[in-house]
Amino acid sequence: MKTVLKVLVAALVPLQFAMAHIEFESRIPNGDRVPNPCRDGAVWSDDKNPFGFDFKAAGQQWTADLCRKDSDGDGLTNGQELGDPDCVWTVGAAPARMTGLSHPGICPIDSAACKNSWTKCPKAFSCPAMEEPGVTVRNFTVKPTAVPTYEKMHLCQAFELNNTASPVHMIGSRPIMVNKNVIRHMVMYGCSQKPDQALFDSPQQCYMGSYPNCIELINLWGEGNEGECFSRFSGFRVGGEGFQYGMLSLKPAKTNGFINEAGLSIYFTSNLRPHDQGTLTYGELELILPPRRTVVNYNHTCPSVCTRSFHSETRYITAASIYMQSYATKGRLSLWRNGALVQDLVPLHAYEYNVPRVLLFDPPVEYRRGDEIKTECYYSTKGNNHSVLFGYGSNDETCLSFMHYYPNNIHLSPLAKLEFCNSIHGYNPCWNDTGITPHIENGCNITGLITGDGLKPVYMAMWRHQCFVSMGCSAACQEYMSNTLFPSNACFDPKRSLKALEYLYIRYHSPLSHQAKGYMNSMYPILKSCQSQIETLALLDQARLASKPAVNPPAVKSIPPADCNTGKPHEEVLTSKNLLVIIVVCSCLVFALLAAVLLLVVRIRKLRLRDSPTKLRNEQDEAGKEKVYNAYG
């Protein structure tokens, strides 16, 4: 469980990200000065407007066509609005004009040219509860510090939230930001124990979720977000039996610069709300997105066996969101009961990672014991030449969903109340923790893998098919795996649950029985070797067929027998089996040649060693004679 906890802690990320492409600001003239037409004196940070769509269509580059276009229909070109009227600006250069700018994607509402133009402004942040009697606000800001130079590094600083016996409810927050465009997001974690004093004294470089005693997400902010306002039914309990200490984690947007007075203004009320609030984190924690794929899909289900076991009562969801990154194209979050869809928490939609959808529910959505919640993530790696893995860097990807809920039993740990329901390669550790058997996911009996009962018959079949008698993958073993094992056994099928088997073998070895470990240690290397060989030969066959020119044969073609005089055989098609025989024969010849060379080198070395004493004595005698000649010359 400790291994799983470390992985789950790293999955905590903000619920209400509204991050803009800060790194793209340098790709347009005056990118960090675009005025906000919806709020005087503010700088725009959202790309959900016609110019943002045109910028994306242009490959997120400032081109001459994009410069000359009038995205918002106000009569001015994008270049005129951004200070590059002649469309000559290049990245790194100073724009022709830095004043008198306007937004190229939103037409000024008071302009006569805006009748048929795009004038939509985002809804302003509003939280009337912050003005209610009994509400107080406290500022939590990190001390001035330099930005870490490593992209995935965060800054963490601890704070005392409420170290008194009188509890209050945290009901919302607003960002404090002196240096703009330096912070990508901020997360406040609730701590079950007081952090080390060094974390109170000054910010420390850290990784996301790197402090095991501070893992419950209680407040957050993302670039472009003006604040967070919780449901009227619940709040996070602070003080008393609730959280007394918090950890503020900041993710810089760049790898240079200086952070000065960044943090959160958090609102508390002494008028406790009816329920304590918590955060659910669901999703897949191991992703491997192959390169050059138009569509890659990962799905995760928090299974009914886990919610029935860990949920003590009906929960009520007040907010929901999906979090993916730049390779994501679509996402969906849905609630299921007895195999039937109850409702979409986040309907299937085109996903933009910098402005994900956050849906609020009033009244809240019932989440009963035995219900299932499914997270669906879709990606495209069409322009990528390398695989994309799970992580929080700019070139990584995620498949996570987040929900605020109540009631939250503050006396239980996050794992004990299933606030983290995550899978690793399709394997849900929560099911194993329920003790309910058999544990079957994606058609694979996980219980049989752990006890070894599901491994023994496969091990015996591999032995009968000569899988352990030679290096690599024998022909008989390859035939067994391709035509029998993979199609009939989901646990070993690369297209179904083999990843769960790999995870048990590599990263979660502790629950395996002694018998299972013995089978795994013998079987796993052969399985991977044969799988790789089968896939490689399949690709070679595909490439051969693709490269072979299409020929329309005559209607009737007689095949003459082989010429007995010349012995010339008929023309044959080179298949994967022929190729495998050639590879094996060539490998044997190369091995024999190397062995012969090695024996020759050893023989020569022995002869030299045998002759060396005689040679040495002769050299010594000659040296002695030389000395005599010199002495009596």
pLDDT in tens, 183-238: 877 889 999 999 999 999 999 988 776 788 998 989 878 766 788 899 999 999 99
Do 362 and 449 lie in one domain? The reply is no
431 and 323 fall within a common domain: yes
Which tokens hold the place of 567? 């012995």
Beta-carbon contacts of 388 under 8 Å, excluding residues fewer than 6 positions away, are 287, 288, 289, 291, 327, 379, 381, 395, 396, 397
- In 3D space, the residue among 336, 321, 417 whose CA is nearest the CA of residue 372 turns out to be 336
CATH number at residue 360: 2.60.120.230
If asked whether residues 286 and 148 sit together in one domain, one would say: no
pLDDT at residue 565, as a whole number: 46
d(CA 470, CA 461): 16
Q: CB–CB of 415/277 below 8 Å?
A: no
Structure-token pair, residue 428 = 């849900």
- Enter the tokens of residue 465: 């098919």
Phi, psi (rounded to 5 degrees) for 484:
-125, -60
Please indicate, yes or no, whether residues 472 and 516 belong to a single structural domain of this protein: yes
Q: In which residue are the tokens 């790309």 written?
A: 47
Q: From CA 326, how far away is CA 602, in angstroms rounded?
A: 59
In a domain, 618, yes or no: no
Pair (174, 257) in one structural domain: yes
Sign of the C-alpha dihedral computed for residues 34, 37, 41 and 47 taken in this order? negative
d(CA 241, CA 354): 36
According to the model, what pLDDT value does residue 163 have?
87
11 residue type, one letter: A
Q: What is the DSSP letter of 22?
A: G
Q: pLDDT by residue (tens digit) across 333-361?
A: 999 999 999 999 999 988 876 666 778 99
CB contact at 8 A, 448 and 454: yes
Q: 3-class SS at 236?
A: strand
Residues forming a β-bridge with 378: 297, 330
Tell me whether residue 544 is exposed, middle or buried, using C-beta atoms within 10 angstroms of its C-beta: 0 to 12, 13 to 18, 19 or more. Answer: middle
Give the three-state DSSP class for 17.
coil
Nearest-angstrom CA–CA distance, 425 and 504: 10
Spatial neighbors of 410 by CB under 8 A, at least 6 apart, are: 237, 241, 242, 276
Q: Do 271 and 154 belong to one domain?
A: yes
Domain boundary at 541, 568, 602, which? 541
Task: Answer whether residue 556 is part of any domain.
Answer: no
Per-residue pLDDT of 377-403, as tens digits, reads 999 998 788 889 888 777 889 999 999
Q: How many domains does the chain have?
A: 4
- In whole angstroms, give the CA distance from residue 498 to residue 489: 10
Which residue do the tokens 């899909």 mark?
297
| Domain assignment present for 552 | no
Which pLDDT score, from 0 to 100, does residue 261 have? 75
pLDDT for 75 equals 85
**Structure token digits, residue 232:** 């009227």
CATH code of the domain covering residue 240: 2.60.120.310
Separation CA 602–CA 599 (nearest Å) = 5
Beta bridge partners of 118: none
Cα–Cα distance measured from residue 317 to residue 15, given in angstroms and rounded to the nearest whole number: 13
| Angle, in degrees to the nearest 10, between helices 514-547 and 498-506 | 130
My answer on whether 356 and 233 are in the same domain is: no
315/395 same-domain check: yes
Confirm whether 558 is domain-assigned: no
Query: Residue 96 has what pLDDT?
Result: 93
Is the same domain home to 302 and 342?
Answer: yes
Say yes or no: 284 and 430 in one domain. Answer: yes
* Domain ranges, residue 71: 15-109
Residue position matching structure tokens 């022995």: 606
180 lies in some domain: yes
User: Among the three residues 404, 420, 435, which one is the final residue of a domain in this structure?
Assistant: 435
Place of tokens 């928490």: 345
Whether 596 maps to a domain, the answer reads: no
Of 376, 402, 435, the one marking the end of a domain is 435
- The encoded tokens of residue 266 equal 């958090």
Does a structural domain hold residue 208?
yes
* DSSP result, 285-350: S--EE-TT-S-EEEEEEE-HHHHHHH-SS-EEEEEEEEE--TTEEEEEEEEEETTEEEEEEEEEEE
Q: Within this chain, do residues 262 and 311 fall inside the same structural domain, yes or no? A: no
φ and ψ at residue 334, rounded to 5 degrees: -140, 155
Structure confidence at residue 592 (pLDDT): 58
Residue 401 is encoded by which pair of tokens? 């969903």
Structure token pair of residue 361: 């529910």
Q: What is the DSSP letter of 534?
A: H
Q: Specify whether the CB–CB gap between 286 and 390 falls below 8 A.
A: yes
CA distance 287 to 354: 20
3-state secondary structure at position 619: helix
Which token pair is 631? 């002495």
**Residue 5 resides in a domain:** no
How far apart are the C-alpha atoms of 517 and 431, rounded to whole Å?
Answer: 20
Q: Look at residue 51 in the predicted model and tell me its pLDDT.
A: 86
Are 272 and 284 contained in the same domain?
no
Instruction: Calculate the CA 429 to chain-centre distance.
Output: 19
The secondary structure of 506-517 as a DSSP string is HT--TTS-HHHH
The structure's pTM equals 0.69
Q: Which residues of the chain have pLDDT under 70?
A: 1-24, 38-48, 108-123, 180-181, 209, 223-224, 255, 353-356, 470-472, 506-511, 548-633
